[in-house]
Structure 1
Amino acid sequence: MYLTRFEINAARRAARSLLASPQKLHAAVMAAFPPSAPTPTDGRVLWRVDRNQHQVLLYLVGPHRPDLTHLVEQVGWPTTHTWDTRDYQALLDRIEVGRQWAFRLRANPVGNRRKNADSTRSQRFGHVTVAQQTGWLLDRAERHGFTVVTGEHKEPDVAVHGREHVTFKRQGTDVTLSTAVFEGHLEVLDADLLRAGLVNGIGPAKGYGCGLLTLAPVRRV
């Protein structure tokens, strides 16, 4: 597995068009891998766009080393910047029970409910409030091998921001995603389950920039 970081030049017109469409971004990410690449036995391609005041960063995790030359030429800095790819196994090997990490996850928090009282079929709906979205993450944490650490006020140490409703076309049909970015601190309960979540993603809409969980060492004051 590999972790790649690529900075997008948001001032370019092509970048603005790309960032407005998860469908276009999905195609651009998948174009980083040749069709002849062998089918992975574990892990899949995951990606996420992080925005801050000064940068727009594309993070990509996958079983093969990507070639982002096309993105550098279209939405990057062709003469000065390329991309940074690192072996992801070094981090995966450091996952152990009881260790705490800072985490970030952009997800598509959804639930299922019956269409009406008499129906046996359910439909998917997006969670839209901070409380609903936080509950969605907490409900799924243990099955992915971690628990969210309790903060100093006896509340889960997780913040929700970057909440968006994204609508785009897919095969002529409108698709709407309710997304949110979660940041906080977690503690490892099951190392194998957490590793699986890191390489396979968490939640739906993984092809559209959701599901990539990333970890960083906890900064001690």
Structure 2
Amino acid sequence: MTTLTRIVLNPRHRAVRNDLADSRQLHKTLMRLVPDNLGPSPRAAAGLLYRLEPAAEPVVLVQTTHHPDLTALPRHYATAQSRDLTAMLTGLQPGLPVHYRITAAPLASRSATAVRNPATGSRRGKRTPLTGDDALAWWHRHATAAGLEIITSHTTPRPFPRRDTTTGPHYRLTQFNGTARITDPRLLAHALTNGIGKGKPYGAGLLSLAHL
């Protein structure tokens, strides 16, 4: 069962402030919602995707394929409500018009920066963040591959909170909003449950739909 949970964070809580300042820390907190011992890729095994919403109050949407254990969050950390997405996923129909929203990490591999992998001998370019028209073109390609025909698109840069002492990847996030038409329900259901693009542990990739 795929579940979407709307979590309204308490900005006065120290743990909330720490999480909002560092995407890696927020990821660790949200992973408490799913069972332990899910193997070498626990986030993917749990189907955990999330997105911070642009709102006056801090809200995070969390999607999982396990029913979330909301009691695992720190006391007074947030209030939350969950709903089952099964009806939405099984009700996708070709030609159905929808609103969509996704925060993604558009990237391109530049061949000019290609470096040979010493283990495989293959060459792979450096991943470069995309912005502006390049980011929009990236989204149109990925949306098409996900079973959507884009009708309108609007882009908004989104922050990637990270402490100066934090190691690991840094992504440039872009939010895409607009309208689309469903072309392939099977591909779309896969994209909805598995996410789109890179940066999924850090708040990217969760695609949301609503009927027009």
TM-score, length-scaled by structure 1: 0.82
| Structure 2 unaligned residues grouped into runs of 5+ | 117-122
Q: Structure 1: 5+ residue runs without aligned partners?
A: 77-81, 150-156
Deviation digits for residues 149-191 of structure 1, max 9, x if unmatched? 1xxxxxxx11111333544579x63431100111101110100
Q: How does 1:33-48 map to 2 (within 5 A)?
A: 33-35=34-36, 44-48=47-51
* Equivalent-residue separation in structure 2 for 1:187 and 1:44 (angstroms): 25
- Letter of the aligned partner of 2:86 in structure 1? Q
What is the TM-score when the length of structure 2 is the normalising length? Answer: 0.85
Partner of 1:204: 198
**Within 5 Å, which residues of 2 pair with 1:45-64?**
45-53=48-56, 55-64=57-66
AA aligned to 2:80 is: W
Query: Partners of 1:40 and 1:203 in 2: how far apart?
Result: 15
Partner of 2:185: 191
CA distance, structure 2, for counterparts of residue 116 and residue 199 of structure 1: 33
Distance 1:5 1:11, change over 3 A: same
SS in 2 for 1:105: strand
8 A contact 1:106–1:180 mirrored in 2: yes
User: Paired residue for 1:158?
Assistant: 153
1:16 to partner: Cα distance: 1.7
Are 1:181 and 2:183 matched, yes or no? no
Amino acid at match of 2:5: T
Which residue of structure 1 lines up, in the alignment, with residue 70 of structure 2?
Answer: 68
1:122 corresponds to 2:125: yes
Cα distance in structure 1, aligned partners of 2:169 and 2:37: 30
* Residue of structure 2 equivalent to 1:7: 8
CA–CA distance in structure 1, aligned partners of residues 45 and 21 of structure 2: 30
Structure 1 residue 139: deviation in Å? 1.5
Assess if the C-alpha contact under 8 Å between 2:23 and 2:160 holds in 1: no
CA change 1:173–1:40 in 2 (3 A) is: closer
1:86 to 83, 87, 107: 83
Distance 1:41 1:32 in 2: 13
Task: Answer yes or no: is the 8 Å Cα contact 2:110–2:126 preserved in 1.
Answer: yes
Letter in 2 for 1:202: I
